[in-house]
Chains A and B, each alone.
Chain A
Amino acid sequence: MNTSQIPRYPVTIDGETTQIGTANELSIALDVLNGQSDRAILEQLRPHLAEIVGGATGFTNAMRSLETENQLFLIDAIGNQLANVIQQARYLRDLLAALAEEQVEQRLIETLGTDGLRALIITPTELGEVLEWIYGSSDQRVIDLLGADYLRRMIRNGVDLGLVLNGLEESGQANLVEKIEWARVAQLVSNGRDLAFLMRALPASLSASLIDQFTREQLIDLIGNKLDWAYLYERLEPSEVKNLFDKIGAK
């Protein structure tokens, strides 16, 4: 669309009026007012904010221009169109990386909700990268909102699960495994490398439970060859080595 044909909406501050139709125009208007009229501008444009910010880049730039309270206002104003605005998981990741306030991250995640998060986060790599930039308990909230069924469908092998586990703190890792269930986790392990990836991603307290899912014979079958064994062994902590040796009866 030609720049001159973009729909624009008037805002008036102290008797001066301008027309705003794009995220860049919004940002520059906020700037020339020296941050003193952010809320007034947002309130005047509220019904059109999703259209004005347009996409992920515009939304991220607008968020960067605003103080916390107005970031929350903008998220609320965009509401259920938020996933359409953010478009892809990598933009959600970049946005989360740029946000410093936990309450803004929380509001963003709650506003996206289950539908929004599922629309954006398609792969384990995307989920891992999003979780990497979420602070506090919000990462657990993302896992809860995505739901066990969705996670089971998304995570299809040990490497997938490892990618997601890497983005979580220990309590979150335990919660995720619990949600997926240990039996399902064990099914994700199809070779020594899968096992190594998961053992590396899990703390020793949880990796012991993983080993417990397998019989001695299953473990020998999984590890099965010199290369996988070397790969696995190099990635184990000493306590995990002892646990594994005990399980397979090695000395």
Chain B
Amino acid sequence: MPHEQITTWKRDPSKPGSLGRLKGSKYRMIDAHLHVINFIQETPGGEALLYYMDQANIDKSVIFGLPVSKLWAEYDREPPDYYLANDSPCYYYGYTDVILAEMVRALSSSQQDRLYPLMCGFNPVDRYAVRHVERLYAQYPDVWSGIGEMLLRHDDLTAFTYGENARANHRALYPIYEFAGQYDLPVLMHQNVTSVTKSDHPVYLHELEEAVREFPRTRFIFAHCGMSRRVNVPFYYQMVDRLLAQYPNLCVDYSWIVYDVVICLNGKPDPNWVALTEKYSDRICLGSDLVTKFERLGPELQRYDVFLDQLSETARANVCWQTAERIYGGNKGKVKNTQPRMVPEWNKVMA
């Protein structure tokens, strides 16, 4: 989940510009990672979202709120509008899911079909968190397509957020992973692979691996491959390659700065990442990771074109569309309409 004000691309006066970028990627796609509510829990709304999706050649979007809200502290003269705006803390804000659900339900049925909303507004270090998930599934059974983006290890945001540090292997999350596994729901998680001050090896990767290993029947999506601003480690594509090889229940999204920092540095696609994407295209999807600034959708997704051009038609179709559709599509109403997957009774197995 990005810093709202630090964009993945910015003006470069040395290069020619074009209004054509506002039209988005030349490849029709699903934006698999989009925050439609910002850090002060405001949203431009569903109608604006769909308008700018149309402008940017985006057919569908995987959307979610933000599980934390930035506090306007008594000592701050200026109201903050994003989490790094000043030194005040953030706190978990469950109502983000209600804002999202109501936004979606205000749209027509055909418009709702273009959106895959995820639920994220629980405190990931609270062992009651699963009750929030169950409650929201009961309240809005036909809205949700999965769970996420959970904000776990997240450098400055972790430091700003009240309470214990959230992490992928926190025991409070295990009932949620179990719930997701029972109903075959995807779980999108932001978990930095390392700390800002430790860039020689991924100190927090083991936390993700423990969760993914402990819940092999739960589908996890590793947001922007665990990268954040100022968070990087050597051997990145080898690390992602190993994770995808080792954990069949793990997918990744290319969104935000992982694309600009390692996949396509200085606008040149890295052949290793092209090869990795070809190999695992059915486990990789693309997203903007914008926080509400829908006007930016076009140029944000257009920047992927230079990389997508290098892929085979099959791989490109997967990362632009098929993978996201397979992960997030068909999940609405699952909890209401299906029986949870249960462990078969021992005596019946042995009979």
Contact = CB atoms under 8 A, between A and B. Distances in A.
7 contacts: A25-B295, A28-B296, A29-B19, A29-B22, A31-B10, A34-B17, A35-B17
Contact of A11 (B19, B20, B293, B298): B19
A18 B13 contact: no
B51 interface: yes
Interface string A186-225: 0000000000000000000000000000000000000000
Question: What are the nearest 7 A-B pairs in CB distance?
Answer: A33-B17, A34-B17, A16-B19, A3-B48, A3-B51, A32-B21, A24-B295
A102 interface: no
B47 interface: yes
Interface of B: 10-22, 44-45, 47-48, 51-52, 78, 293, 295-296, 298-299
Q: Interface on chain A toward B: helix, strand, loop, or mixed SS? A: mixed
A63 to B, nearest CB: 15
Interface residues on chain A, size class: 20 to 34
A171 interface: no
Nearest to B300: A28
Interface of A: 2-4, 11, 13-14, 16-18, 22, 24-25, 27-37, 94
Given A24-B295, A28-B295, A33 B18 contact: yes
A11 B295 CA distance: 16
Contacts of B51: 3-4
Q: Tell me which of B293, B295, B299 has the highest count of chain A C-beta atoms within 10 A of its own C-beta.
A: B295
Given A3-B44, A17-B19, A32-B22, A22 B13 contact: no
B23 to A, nearest CB: 8
Contacts of A36: 13, 16-17
A27 to B, nearest CB: 8
Contacts of B45: 3
A22 B296 CA distance: 13
